[in-house]
Amino acid sequence: MKIGFIGLGIMGKPMSKNLVKAGYDLIVYDRNQAAAHEVAECGAQEAFSTAEVAAVSDVIITMVPNSPQVREVALSDDGIIAKAKEGTVLIDMSSIDPVESRKIGAALAEKGIDMLDAPVSGGEPKAIDGTLSVMVGGKEETFDKYKELLSHMAASVVYVGELGAGNVAKLANQIVVASNIAAVAEALTFSVKAGVDPERVYQAIRGGLAGSTVMDAKAPMMMDRNFKPGFRIELHIKDLNNALNAAHAVSAPVPITAQMMEILQAVKADGHEKEDHSGMLHYYEKNANVTVKR
């Protein structure tokens, strides 16, 4: 089985390397040729176009920024729809609008190409160590066939429902994560403003009901002033924009999501969009006129 992998950015590059380590026959492409060359040095075959990948692959994995890029890779004149053989499967692991996933999947189906949407959660560290969470939508029999493939990049691979359901789950995840990060930032800022050591507050509450994976991942980063991106603010803005669009399409009220978007936009306006989403802390610090640190 020949696996094509398109999109070798902060997530796609370590994910593709894990597939090579697992023994899969990979052909990879990214507009950044240095990234493709790096994966090729690990044992993959390097391609120089989407068309080249599509023409030889049985399964194509895409990990690109957003809906327009998935649409381009899948449906352009040099894309999967034009160059891939009937029976090829597209596994889109990008985080995009589920409405777009369904439209792209319907177009591919007319050419005999099946599609799964399989976005991930976990950020760069979990992409590197192969412990991502994957949420999958599409035909259940297709999911069953490729679950093992996905498991080499992830600790959790869960079938959610029909095509688009994977991205619905991912957007739900992003709503919860943004809200949790904001709550942690708000609580630590409040602690400092009240004259209490934020590290001691964190240690006091992390073992109770307030404790969470998000708190344990992001509170130390905030207090260490470490905003090196595991998942960039600008990408979380993209995800929440997709969440708002998808929610509005089905008339689901998402007022907390809207508030999180405004906080992220304010942080972006102050020039922090390339930082980790723990940088939501900057919004609270600016308004409270304090600095959170150990």
In a domain, 75, yes or no: yes
What is the Cα–Cα distance from 11 to 74, expressed in whole angstroms? 19
Q: Which residues contact 128 (CB under 8 A, 6 or more apart)?
A: 14
Q: Of the residues 139, 163, 187, which one is the last residue of a structural domain?
A: 163
Residue pair 121/103 in contact (Cβ under 8 Å)? The answer is: no
% of the chain with per-residue pLDDT over 70: 100
Point out the catalytic residue in the list 17, 170, 218, 238: 170
In a domain, 128, yes or no: yes
Q: Which tens digit of pLDDT belongs to each residue from 238-289?
A: 999 999 999 999 999 999 999 999 999 999 999 999 999 999 999 999 999 9
Tell whether 12 and 158 lie within a shared domain. yes
In a domain, 24, yes or no: yes
Residue 14 has pLDDT above 90, yes or no: yes
In a domain, 66, yes or no: yes
Q: Which tens digit of pLDDT belongs to each residue from 123-156?
A: 888 999 999 999 999 999 999 999 999 999 999 9
Helix axes 233-249, 98-109, angle to 10 degrees: 80
Q: Of the residues 163, 191, 219, which one is the last residue of a structural domain?
A: 163
Tell whether 89 and 215 lie within a shared domain. no
Tell whether 29 and 137 lie within a shared domain. yes
Mean pLDDT value of segment 29-50: 97
The boundaries of the domain holding residue 224 are 168-288
pLDDT number for residue 198: 98
% of the chain with per-residue pLDDT over 90: 97
In a domain, 294, yes or no: no
Tell whether 142 and 199 lie within a shared domain. no
Q: Which tens digit of pLDDT belongs to each residue from 50-98?
A: 999 999 999 999 999 999 999 999 999 999 999 999 999 999 999 999 9
Q: What is the CATH number of the domain that holds 30?
A: 3.40.50.720
Tell whether 38 and 154 lie within a shared domain. yes
pLDDT number for residue 116: 98
Q: Is 21 a catalytic residue?
A: no
What is the Cα–Cα distance from 141 to 160, expressed in whole angstroms? 13
Six-digit token string for 68: 């327009």
Tell whether 118 and 264 lie within a shared domain. no
What are residue 180's phi and psi, to 5 degrees? Answer: -65, -45
Tell whether 36 and 173 lie within a shared domain. no
Q: How far is CA 198 from CA 188, 220, 223, 228, in A?
A: 6, 10, 8, 20
pLDDT number for residue 292: 98
Average pLDDT taken over every residue of the chain: 97
Tell whether 154 and 239 lie within a shared domain. no
Tell whether 150 and 174 lie within a shared domain. no
In a domain, 283, yes or no: yes
Tell whether 85 and 40 lie within a shared domain. yes
Q: What is the CATH number of the domain that holds 193?
A: 1.10.1040.10
Tell whether 89 and 32 lie within a shared domain. yes
Q: Of the residues 163, 181, 203, which one is the last residue of a structural domain?
A: 163
In a domain, 29, yes or no: yes
pLDDT number for residue 141: 98
Amino acid in the structure at residue 29: Y
pTM for this structure? 0.92
In a domain, 37, yes or no: yes
pLDDT number for residue 100: 96
Q: What is the dihedral of CA 165, 99, 18, 6, to 10 degrees?
A: 160
Tell whether 82 and 194 lie within a shared domain. no
Residue 230 has pLDDT above 90, yes or no: no
pLDDT number for residue 123: 85
Q: Which tens digit of pLDDT belongs to each residue from 158-190?
A: 999 999 999 999 999 999 999 999 999 999 999
In the chain, the number of structural domains is 2
